Amino acid sequence: MIKLRDILLEKKLRVFDFDDTLVKSNSKVFLVRNGKRKEMTPGEFAIYTQKPGDKFDFSEFDRVIEPKQIKAMFKVFKNIYKASGSRRLTILTARAAYRPVRQFLKDVGYTDVFVVALGDSNPQKKADWIEGQIKKGYNDILFLDDSPKNVRVVKQLKRKYPKIKMDARVVRYD
């Protein structure tokens, strides 16, 4: 049975990744190995297993290049944005610069979405940020990301915080 007290104490956080979750862009990650440079999409990078000596160039992520909304996920985003009740809607991206993401959202009509740019593609960084939000009192969390590695690490928080309502999902689109 759901108690009114529990509903009133809910502090909801809705977290979306940006690249290949909400938006498909032409920003590329460049892998440099043994002096050779290889181009990767964010989706390819999301499932890539790093090897010793790999270096990455994320310079194209200082802007949003030719963005295209991923319709199914943008519909979910829009529904959460417009939903009644109290919740914090956040874009949590590995990009180093938050301004291009915030500008894109403003350009498509979403002016008050919180954007966090971690500047790091290590999945643990996303989990650490979410854990910080749990420590601030958020107890109902939805995390959507195209990277299975990111989702796996975030799901591990459920073991550490069993009383937190947490749903972390890998987003796939066609």
**Over the stretch 84-132, which tens digit does the pLDDT of each residue have?**
778 899 999 999 999 999 999 999 999 889 999 999 889 999 999 999 9
pLDDT at 3 over 80: no
Task: Give DSSP secondary structure letters for 91-113.
Answer: EEES-S-SHHHHHHHHHTT--S-
CA separation for the pair 100, 72 (Å, rounded): 22
Type of residue at 15? V
Name the more confident of 150 and 4.
150
Query: Closest Cα partner for 46 from 124, 141, 123?
Result: 123
Eight-state DSSP code of residue 157: H
Structure confidence at residue 44 as a pLDDT band (50, 70, 90): confident
pLDDT at 92: 98
Taking a C-beta distance cutoff of 8 angstroms, is the pair 48, 149 a contact? no
pLDDT at 10 over 90: no
Name the more confident of 146 and 172.
146
pLDDT at 2 over 60: no
C-alpha distances (whole Å) from 31 to each of 1, 44, 45, 119, 147 are 52, 11, 9, 16, 18
Q: Using the Cα atoms of residue 34, residue 38, residue 44 and residue 45 in order, give the sign of their dihedral.
A: positive
Q: Return the percentage of the chain with pLDDT > 90, whole number.
A: 74
pLDDT at 4: 47
Q: Is the pTM of this model over 0.75?
A: yes
The structure tokens listed for 174 are 């066609």
| The pairing of beta strand 87-93 with beta strand 23-24 | unpaired
pLDDT at 12 over 80: yes
pLDDT at 174: 58
